[in-house]
């Protein structure tokens, strides 16, 4: 079971080292199942302006980290240090 904001921290740490990522790739990498739940979660983070949303050349939905999400991660990591 995840503690408060642990999934958000895990998500932002995943996107820090990547550009644009498809949702199934994200879900498999962080172990979020069922995969369809990750679509909803990433869309929620997009609505809060933590992630950018776009489409790749095949028309698949892809996400990348927005500066607001990076700031949240930096602030969260400083609190834990």
Output the DSSP codes for 28-49: HHHT-SSHHHHHHHHHHHHHTT
Of 80, 49, 41, 47, the residue nearest 65 (C-alpha): 49
User: In this structure, is residue 55 part of a structural domain?
Assistant: yes
Of 50, 66, 40, the residue nearest 8 (C-alpha): 50
User: In this structure, is residue 17 part of a structural domain?
Assistant: yes
pLDDT at 81: 44
Domains: count for the chain: 1
Domain extent, residue 61, equals 6-80
pLDDT single digits (tens) 26-52: 999 999 999 999 999 999 999 999 999
CA distance 64 to 14: 10
Tokens 């932002």, residue located: 12
What does the pLDDT average to over 51-59? 96
User: In this structure, is residue 1 part of a structural domain?
Assistant: no
pLDDT at 36: 93
User: In this structure, is residue 51 part of a structural domain?
Assistant: yes
Count of Cβ atoms closer than 10 Å to residue 3 Cβ: 7
């Amino acid at each position: 079971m995840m503690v408060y904001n642990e999934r958000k921290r895990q998500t932002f740490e995943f996107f820090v080292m990547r550009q644009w990522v498809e949702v199934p790739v994200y879900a498999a990498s962080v172990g979020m199942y069922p995969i369809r739940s990750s679509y909803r979660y990433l869309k929620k983070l997009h609505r809060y302006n933590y992630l950018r949303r776009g489409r790749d050349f095949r028309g698949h939905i892809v996400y990348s980290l927005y500066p607001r999400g990076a700031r949240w991660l930096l602030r969260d990591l400083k609190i834990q240090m």
